[in-house]
Structures are given as structure tokens and as C-alpha cells.
Amino acid sequence: MSGTAEILCIGTELLLGNITNGNARWLAEQLAALGISHQRQAVVGDNRERLIAMVREASGRCRVLITTGGLGPTPDDLTTEAIAAALGAPLVEHPQVWATIQARLSARGRPVAASNRRQALLPVGAALLPNPTGTAPGIIWTPDPAGLDFSVEPGFTVLTFPGVPSEMQAMWHATAAPWLRDSGLADGVVASRMLRFWGVAESTLAEQMADLLEQANPTVAPYAGAGEVKLRITARAVSAAEADALLGPVEAEIRARSGSVCFGADDDSLAAVVLQQLRARGQTLAVAESCTGGGLGAALAAVPGASDVFLGGVIAYANALKQGLLAVPADLLEVHGAVSDPVACAMAGGARRATGADWALAISGIAGPGGGSADKPVGLVHIAVAGPDGCHSEGVRFGSSRGRSWIQTLSAGEALNRLRLRLAT
């Protein structure tokens, strides 16, 4: 059957369970979005013989084999060599690839090792799959099956990517996705939109949308992340325009049913949405962070162009800094404790005064594992939103079962979401 792809992830670290195979999921999502059906995934270690065996098996079964990993300069990076051997082609050095590798390393002040030169060896007849961000290029190769003693799927093509997610993703978007779109492998055109939610449980959202989750086209599928819930709408049609036309009504229906818990679509982050709300008002934002230690500011600074809205703020991890830098009165800390609404509001107010920002978000909580008590357990976080029209603070309990970084991540998201809702009214 034409139009099928397989994913082969290469690396002993996957077989040892040292890392989770996030690349396989990412590639699977990309293939689905392109409308290319994909029936198998496999993982193999850094072992030449087994790699050769798996490439040969796949060559008789699928049209496109997508590999990740094993393109680095070290001896256990065997992917390119094993693929060439599996399909009976010699390797040739590509001088311009070697030149690019040397230039990249020098630009980063890194020594050029002889081993890097291996990365410029590609199978005869293979096209380059450029790596805009790293040294290891990939290949797009439709080998000549003549002379092989095993049968190869007509048009069988292999695409190789490094295992570093950021490099793989950049190569995919720049070269592989366009190639696949033009490859005729897609079964129609798929358009998809990811709607993003904060402040609702996946099960609750799934029940609200139960009938939509049963639909065949567009399909609606829920995902849960750290505090965030997503619904992906995927429509399949003969043209992009028709696929988009199918998405619209379903998106509108979901937004109507879910209301304000839907904060955006696709690449929107809570931080990006809040920054845009404030930008539109010509207002600025500061933070005062205790248990998140800077995570809220980092989420805002992660958005390109944040600087016109986000001024900065204070990381008041120690109580002395809450007093010294945010002018939180000592008696407030004494009477109510650092994790309380009065202190959170005082922190937010102090951040506004110290920075001159129109708005400030303050977070004070117990991230654990230590520091909890009966009335103030691990996972209790007080979050204040202070603005021109005053301050409101409220406590939230994230629980302790998922650990410290979970509590810190959810605290930053909850703070942003509260400001989003306040600015929306």
C-alpha cells in the first residue's frame, strides 16, 4: 500500500530507558498532520547488524522510512553507514558538507575534530537533508534497488534526522515536510487546529465534547499536559481549503461550549496571550516570585518580543527579600505567614511600586517536598494579581503527589491565567 511511512528511532539510550522517545511522538504528530498514514514505529540500539536488518525489513514494507538518531560524530553513530550498507551503496564525502561543519564549529569556538568529518560521508546518490542548526546533516535517499537480493517497496525512500529534537524539528519544517507534501504520499490533505485550555479537567472537557469526540471527520482528540488541556481538531479533505472549511464550525462549537477556559489555539502560550492583551492596552507587567523562583518571569521572557510589556521583577525566595525588595511589612509575614493572601498582595503591590509596571503577578507557595504543615500543605500556593484597579489574591491547592516542578509549573500557569481572565473582563 502506497502512502505508508514508518519511524525508526536509533539509540541504545532508548533501549536502556535512559530517555523517553519524544521524537517518535513528535514525528507521528507531524505525519498525521500531513495526512500520511503510518503503521509502525521501531526502536533499535546503536548496533550495526540490527540496524541493517531493520532498514532492509522496512524497505520491503513501507514507502518512506524516517529515522532519528545516530548521525553524530562518535563511533556509536552508525545510522548513515548502516543504511548505505543495508541498501548496497558506498559512502562518498560531500566537500561542502565538510566545509559547513568546520565553519559551524569554528563559529561556536569549538575545535574541529577529525571525527566530525565522518558526518560529511553520505550514500552515493543520496540528496542532502540540510541541518540548519547543527553539524549533522541528514539524507533524503531513494536507493536504486538493482542488484539487491531482497525486494524493496517501489519508490522506497529514507529520510534521516539527528536525535537532538530541536535539530530534527528544524530540518523537518525546512525540508522534510515540504518534500513529503509534494511526494504524493498524503491521503488527501489534513488540516488541524489545537485548541488550548486552562482551568478545566481533561475528563470534564471530554464529557462536554463527548459527541464531537465520536466524529469521524473532523476528529477531535483530547490531550492533557502540565495543567493545560488541549483538543486537537483534525479534518481530512481533497484540498486545504475544504479541510479548513471543515475545521471552522467544530472549532466554533468547542469554543462556544467551553467558554473562557479556552485561552488560545495552536502555538499560543498563556504567556503570549497575556503579553498580547497588555500590548493592546499599552500596559506593562512585573512579577514577584517566591516558590517559583523565576519560572513565571522565564515563561514571559520565553516569548519573542516580550520586552515591550514585561519589565522584570523580583525573585523573593527568602522572606528577607520580600521585606527588603518588595517592602512586605514584617508583621504581615508574622501574622499571616509568607504563604497567604495578604503577603501575596503585598508582594504584588511592592513589585508594581519597585518597577512602575501597571500590573504585577505575585506567587507565594509551598513547592515541597519539605515545608508543608497541616493547615498549609505542600502544593498550597497563593497567587495575587495587582493592577490599576486594585489587588486580588486567592489560594489554590495543587496537591503534593506530582512533585515540586509540577507545582512550580502550574503556579506560573495559574498566575498567567488569572491575569488573562481579569484582562478579558
- Selection from 63, 238, 219, 85 nearest residue 153 by Cα: 63
Output 141 or 271, the one with its CB closest to a second copy: 271
Radius of gyration of the chain (CA): 26
CB-neighbour burial class of residue 1 (10 A; exposed 0-12, middle 13-18, buried 19+): exposed
b (16+ CB within 10 A) / e for 107-146: eeeeeeeeebebbbbbbeebebbebeebbbbbbbbbbebe
The pair phi, psi for residue 31, each rounded to 5°, is: -65, -45
Q: Which is nearer to a second copy, 49 or 144 (CB)?
A: 49
For the CB of residue 291, give the shortest distance to a second copy in the complex, in Å: 7
Q: Measured from the CB of residue 386, what is the shortest distance to a second copy in angstroms?
A: 16
Among 16, 40, 15, which Cα is nearest to 28's?
A: 40
Nearer Cβ to a second copy (155/356)? 356
Cβ-based neighbour number of residue 198 at 10 Å: 22
- CB 134 → a second copy: shortest distance, Å? 8
The nearer residue to a second copy, 142 or 276, going by C-beta atoms, is 276
Report the nearest approach of a second copy to the CB of residue 396 (Å). 9
C-alpha–C-alpha distance, residues 86 and 78, integer Å: 12
Question: For the CA atoms of 409, 423, 312, 332, what is the dihedral angle to 10 degrees?
Answer: -80
Kindly state the smallest distance separating residue 96's Cβ from a second copy, in Å: 17
CB-nearer residue toward a second copy: 95 or 111: 111
Query: Do 136 and 72 meet the contact criterion of CB atoms below 8 Å apart?
Result: yes
As measured in angstroms, the least distance from the Cβ of 321 to a second copy is 4
In this structure, are residues 364 and 338 in contact, taking their beta carbons and an 8 Å threshold? yes
User: Whole-number minimum distance, CB 34 to a second copy, in Å?
Assistant: 12
* Measured distance CA(69)–CA(46) in Å, rounded: 9
DSSP string, 379-405: TEEEEEEEETTEEEEEEEE--STT-HH
In the complex with a second copy, which residue's Cβ is closer, 401 or 425?
401
Judged by beta carbon, residue 166 or residue 373, the one nearer a second copy is 166
- Choice between 28 and 92, CB closer to a second copy: 28
Q: Look at residue 329 and give its three-state secondary structure.
A: coil
Least distance (Å) between residue 19 CB and a second copy = 7
